[in-house]
Structure 1
């Protein structure tokens, strides 16, 4: 993919994350978008936490799926998740900042495979995940998803 595609993709995502979709709840900040890889940061607030005050596993799974899925779009592919496996290693509470790194490890014509690692602000690993994505088309300026 071209540098122009990556610049367009980052701009498109930032604009659409302000709408009422999952990313609006998560409020991730895009740190880096390069071919086959994305890095997001996210400030953990009370709404992301479980009854014990720690980040909810579903919140971590969601951010992992988002960064892995977006890493696929950096290659111009529109995808849907077919499976996701996640290992929870450590937890954090509200007030912490996490960093999620999504990478494409296999760029198939029909199936893509990705990995994700999520770290706390001390670079301690919180989560390791992997997922498969089914390619349903292209994702570019001509074919962006329609977000309502």
Structure 2
């Protein structure tokens, strides 16, 4: 296991009294983040849920915002831009964009766990334009070219 990376967090006024994002178990990859507001999301609607937190993520890292599997399976609540990315130079409030794919309105109470946050290293690319790419066995074969789900059985 690597040493934890320090991430500075500023609690905003509407985040007072809420727990900071935390790992549920020692083996958890994601930290549960809580809602700082009460809101109901209608079926088919999207909403940016306030967390009451602002972050200073170290350079060379991002925080990925991911859905909670239980909310997705049981209620159809997910993060539409999964994974969402919080860049290291962003200093505004962390908000979690949720969408309700379910058939019923979904109520979120202040303090409810709404998503997971995963701290991840970032490697930036440098483009090298060429006239030809190296050949591979797959070549330009794309969507479904390696076999459908029936072949995976």
- Higher Cα Rg, which structure: 2
More helix by share: 1
- Higher RCO structure (Cα 8 Å, ≥6 apart): 2
Whether TM exceeds 0.5 here: the answer is no
User: TM-score under structure 2 normalisation?
Assistant: 0.28
User: TM-score under structure 1 normalisation?
Assistant: 0.29
